[in-house]
Amino acid sequence: MWVALAINAAMLVAEAVGGVLTGSLAVLADAGHLLSDVGSIALALFAARLASMPAAGRRTFGYQRSEVLAALVNGLLLVAVSVVIAVEAIGRFSDPPSIEAGGVLALGLFGLAGNAAATWVLARGQREDINLEGALRHSAADALGSIGVVVAGAFVLAGGSDVIDPIVSLLIAALVLASSWRLIKEPFDVLMEAAPADLDVEGMGQAICLEEGVRSVHDLHVWTVTSGFGAVAAHVVVAQGADRDLIRRRLELTLNERFGIEHTTLQMEEEADQRLLRVENAPSSTV
């Protein structure tokens, strides 16, 4: 992410200056997206540093969810950037300003090369980390946005209308908005204590009940602490006389191997004597 930050910062300066000199909103839109990229990567790096801090005091999980919060903020920033670009683009349709096509094309090619390099660097990281995935999606969307800038510059250079510039800007805004969806949805699911998206909670309950000696399971809760860190808590009812510690160890192994859950809290309960649960509906006595 440090490498990607340096690349994006250099491109941001070049496109911001170039956008003003060429008068191209498409270039400035791409620069605005780059600004959100620089902020998102810096935020991701800060969140990753916080997440590595050990648990202490009241924060028994440490600061691991800081990465989730950073991803959510990045998603909301993308929405804001897309709205600003779209509003400005719509305002230019009635009177599109002339643009310096050659400079726009050169800046688009420069941005495309830089974004492709940053995307390639980020894609080599741990993709299950939503913090890094957020930075990667920013970078990939920028690469596609740079393609739009190249198209706009080439179109005007070939004698086309300047109206292509706000059109491309709107396409970039739509692209930015689409890339924000996962960065908002997944952190929201984590904060709402939802189970990991790829985990079958009902299948997990069935797997627990299929373990030898297990009678039933209740109060089964599965949630995500942060990306790649799932947790399970459940009450497991076992047969009378069964070795509860042995069953618990077997269940922990099953949950780890089949569902990738390492953090488990299993309360083992012995099956109650049915005679203690017997209730009769006897008629009231009469005098």
- 179 shares its domain with 71: yes
Please report the pLDDT score of residue 277 as a whole number.
55
Contacts of 282 (CB under 8 A, 6+ apart): none
Cβ–Cβ under 8 Å, residues 183 and 75? yes
Judge whether 7 lies within some domain. yes
Asked if the structure places residue 278 within a domain, the reply is: no
Q: Cα(98)–Cα(165) distance, rounded to whole angstroms?
A: 9
Residue 286 belongs to a domain = no
Contact 220, 234 (CB under 8 A): yes
Say whether both 117 and 236 belong to one domain: no
Residues 230 and 116 in one domain: no
User: Which one of 191, 226, 257 terminates a domain?
Assistant: 191
Q: Would residue 279 count as lying in a domain? A: no
Q: What is the pTM of this model?
A: 0.68
**Residue 196 domain flag:** no
Q: Are residues 154 and 43 part of one domain?
A: yes
Domain count for the chain, please give it.
2
- Domain closes at, from 157, 191, 225: 191
Which residue is associated with the tokens 């997944």? 186
- Reduced to 3 states (helix: H, G, I; strand: E, B; else coil), residue 75 is helix
Task: Evaluate whether residue 280 is within a structural domain.
Answer: no
Both tokens assigned to 38: 């620089």
What's the DSSP call for residue 94? S
Say if 34 falls within a structural domain.
yes
Residues 6+ away with beta carbon under 8 Å from 16: 28, 31, 35
Asked if 131 and 70 count as a contact pair (C-beta separation under 8 A), the reply is yes
CB atoms < 10 A from the CB of 122, how many? 24
Tens digit of each residue's pLDDT (9 = 90 or more) over 17-54? 887 887 777 677 777 767 777 877 887 788 778 777 77
Tell me what pLDDT residue 165 has: 76
Q: Where residue 261 sits, what CATH number does that domain have? A: 3.30.70.1350
Residue-range definition of the domain harbouring residue 88: 2-191
Q: How far apart are CA 190 and CA 195, in angstroms?
A: 8
In the listed set 191, 211, 237, which residue is the last one of a domain according to the structure?
191
User: Does residue 106 sit in the same domain as residue 31?
Assistant: yes
Instruction: Check residue 250 and give its pLDDT.
Output: 94
**What's the pLDDT at 129?**
67
Name residue 267's beta-bridge partners: 235
Q: Are residues 141 and 241 in the same domain?
A: no
The pLDDT score that the predictor gives to residue 49 is 81
Alpha helices, DSSP H, located in 93-223: 101-123, 130-157, 164-179, 181-191, 201-209
CA angle 148, 151, 157 (to 5 degrees): 140
Over residues 157-177, the pLDDT tens digits come to: 887 777 887 888 788 788 778
Query: Are residues 186 and 219 located together in one domain of the fold?
Result: no
pLDDT at residue 284, as a whole number? 56
Q: Which of 106, 107, 127 is nearest to 30 (CA)?
A: 107
Q: Are residues 221 and 171 in the same domain?
A: no
Does the residue 187 lie in any domain? yes
Q: Give the CATH number of the domain where residue 44 resides.
A: 1.20.1510.10
Same domain, residue pair 148 and 212: no
Using DSSP's 3-state secondary structure scheme, residue 221 falls into strand
Q: How many CA atoms lie within 13 A of 118 on its CB side?
A: 35
Average confidence (pLDDT) per 10 residues, the chain, 287 residues: 83 82 74 75 79 75 79 82 82 74 79 82 71 71 76 80 80 80 83 85 92 92 84 92 92 92 91 62 55
